[in-house]
Chain A
């Protein structure tokens, strides 16, 4: 049985489809356009506007990106901070979440309160900078992974999940003589895989996308530069000069700053876009576990 559509419903449906098509276009066009420019000959991109497909295919932009020492170093540090930062953060947040989710833990309330307070007040930029300076963490790799390793928000998401695990599992292990360490490693952690995956992904994306800490703490140490920071410097150069004049100067080499920047942008986006389809279900679970259960 097919219901007859009223005129109002048809208008609604048409507007809806137009809106959704526009939405997808606005979201995807800039990304696909950057992709096309990155694979197009730099000089050609100045002459005629590239839209979704390169006119004159070229890999020179990527070759130039790969040949730049600063970008290679940035990529290495970005990968390192993402891996190291994610593991450290995951381990300590999980451990703390385990401790505060134990019903019989003697200082449960106090420890919980201690961490919840950190979500609402913080020292701010300058006092934190002074602390980092005093701890001799300026110009070092560790400034990326140590401050912020334990975060109350991530810990609370994990704690909420752990509190949902039946206590009887822990009790039966205890009767078999297991201590809290064994319970944490052998019983709780294997059950927490979904929430661990979610938090790991949030931390990994955060680490990969960070650049401000590089600018603030490691400006002088080129060997600890990150990809995003290098990209920001390229963007600032592009903004300070009139783009087209600068591009024309390099026209002879067929590799223009804008084309190189497009290639670097794609390279920086690539890991996230490539992993995105596999990981998105964890992102969504994370938001609903953490967000709804305030």
Chain B
């Protein structure tokens, strides 16, 4: 911290003296800053750092009555229980698979949508479509799942459409077939977030040098070629950075959609780590096991972030840190 203010004092003075003088001069003035920072620091310790110390419960046989100061330490027993539990590996697989599907679709749909929207020449239409496209982002997951549920119910719009087109001859019960669940979650995410995720690419596209397009036109490039050979490669740095940011969220693939749309018939494919934590921790009161599962998720996420960043570094791409 001390290095911060040395640059403000004259280099002619003795460094130590000037630091002390500086402190003497600045401290009374910064009273307001110090009090504000300290108060918010206390808040931060309580709400962000104490829960981190709560990780200790995973190594204890935590009983609410005794608290984590007096509960019995049992080492890695809870982790052992976790890793021996078949359901845990099932929810882990579900989370990873849905996370990866979501990640791929997130990028594919946002990039394609941004590229296509950019090709629209009518500015009014472009503005209108963009405005509509990110409206679903602001609707709650409850509303979105309600919409998905209604559209896919046996009397819903999708079944009606498929029946009228004679693709099927009996309404499909989408929520009782395991194979449909992951695609339903993925498409819900696409419906809600595509327009929103595209914003950042649209912003990046506006900063591409128009001279590149002019040069390509002279060489006889059509719209398709300009899109594939100029716009898309120009987006590469943005795509790489966003990929690195989002890859750490793969295990946060979801809670809300899966929690609301999951049912007993398809439980084995719908439950995620977060739902597992909620079930064991809150409903079954096994706080220690729930915490252990949460820690496992955090640790794996951090490893993924560092590994992805390292891979980017090796291949000479953009990286986070």
Question: A interface vs B, CB < 8 Å?
Answer: 6, 8-9, 12, 16, 19-20, 23-24, 26-31, 33-34, 49, 92, 95-96, 98-100, 102, 104-111, 114-115, 118, 120-131, 133, 135, 146-150, 179-181, 184, 205, 208-212, 216, 228, 231-232, 235-236, 238-240, 243-244, 258, 261, 265, 268-269, 272-273, 276-277, 280, 283-284, 287-288, 291-292, 294
- Inter-chain CA distance A29–B282, complex, in Å, is 38
Q: Main SS of the interface on chain A?
A: helix
B41, CB-defined interface residue at 8 Å? yes
Residues in A neighbouring B241, C-beta threshold 8 A: 294
- Inter-chain CA distance A121–B195, complex, in Å, is 29
- Inter-chain CA distance A232–B257, complex, in Å, is 11
- Inter-chain CA distance A96–B136, complex, in Å, is 32
A118-B48, A127-B291, A147-B47 are known contacts. Are A106 and B150 too (CB-CB below 8 A)? Answer: no
- Inter-chain CA distance A104–B23, complex, in Å, is 11
Q: How many residues of B contact A (CB 8 A)?
A: 92
Query: Which of B37, B196, B291 has the most chain A CB atoms closer than 10 A to its own CB?
Result: B37
Residues in A neighbouring B34, C-beta threshold 8 A: 106-107
Residues in A neighbouring B311, C-beta threshold 8 A: none
A109-B1, A287-B200 are known contacts. Are A273 and B135 too (CB-CB below 8 A)? Answer: yes
- Inter-chain CA distance A81–B274, complex, in Å, is 25
A30-B150, A49-B160, A115-B44 are known contacts. Are A125 and B143 too (CB-CB below 8 A)? Answer: no
Say whether A123 contacts B55, CB under 8 Å: yes
Say whether A120 contacts B153, CB under 8 Å: no
Considering the complex, give the chain A residue whose CB is closest to the CB of B320.
A294
- Inter-chain CA distance A128–B199, complex, in Å, is 33
Choose among B41, B142, B153, B196 the residue that contacts A232 (Cβ–Cβ < 8 A).
Answer: B142
Considering the complex, give the chain B residue whose CB is closest to the CB of A135.
B46
Say whether A33 contacts B132, CB under 8 Å: no
Say whether A31 contacts B147, CB under 8 Å: yes
Residues in A neighbouring B155, C-beta threshold 8 A: 49, 243-244
| B95–chain A nearest beta-carbon distance, Å | 14
Q: List 16 A-B contacts (CB under 8 A).
A: A12-B224, A29-B157, A99-B36, A118-B48, A123-B50, A123-B52, A124-B298, A126-B57, A150-B43, A150-B44, A209-B140, A232-B142, A235-B146, A235-B149, A268-B142, A272-B138
Say whether A20 contacts B54, CB under 8 Å: no
A16-B116, A110-B1, A114-B44 are known contacts. Are A125 and B142 too (CB-CB below 8 A)? Answer: no
A8-B224, A147-B47 are known contacts. Are A243 and B153 too (CB-CB below 8 A)? Answer: yes
| B199–chain A nearest beta-carbon distance, Å | 6
Considering the complex, give the chain A residue whose CB is closest to the CB of B141.
A209
Extra 19 A-B pairs, beta carbons < 8 Å, given A118-B44, A235-B146, A277-B131: A23-B133, A30-B151, A31-B147, A99-B37, A104-B4, A109-B4, A124-B291, A124-B294, A125-B277, A127-B53, A130-B68, A147-B47, A232-B142, A239-B175, A243-B155, A276-B135, A287-B200, A288-B199, A294-B241
Say whether A127 contacts B57, CB under 8 Å: yes
Say whether A105 contacts B302, CB under 8 Å: no
B166, CB-defined interface residue at 8 Å? no
Considering the complex, give the chain A residue whose CB is closest to the CB of B241.
A294
- Inter-chain CA distance A273–B137, complex, in Å, is 11
* Pairs A-B, 4 closest by C-beta atoms: A123-B51, A127-B54, A124-B294, A209-B140
Say whether B133 contacts A180, CB under 8 Å: no
B20, CB-defined interface residue at 8 Å? no
Q: Which of B28-61 contact A (CB under 8 A)?
A: 29-30, 32-34, 36-37, 40-41, 43-44, 46-55, 57
Residues in B neighbouring A129, C-beta threshold 8 A: 281-282, 287
Say whether B40 contacts A150, CB under 8 Å: yes
| B129–chain A nearest beta-carbon distance, Å | 6
A111-B37, A288-B203 are known contacts. Are A276 and B138 too (CB-CB below 8 A)? Answer: yes
Choose among B125, B145, B256, B295 the residue that contacts A124 (Cβ–Cβ < 8 A).
Answer: B295
Say whether A180 contacts B29, CB under 8 Å: yes
Considering the complex, give the chain B residue whose CB is closest to the CB of A209.
B140
A8-B222, A12-B223, A27-B136 are known contacts. Are A292 and B52 too (CB-CB below 8 A)? Answer: no
Residues in B neighbouring A272, C-beta threshold 8 A: 138-139
- Inter-chain CA distance A120–B303, complex, in Å, is 12
Query: Which of A120, A126, A210, A287 has the most chain B CB atoms closer than 10 A to its own CB?
Result: A126
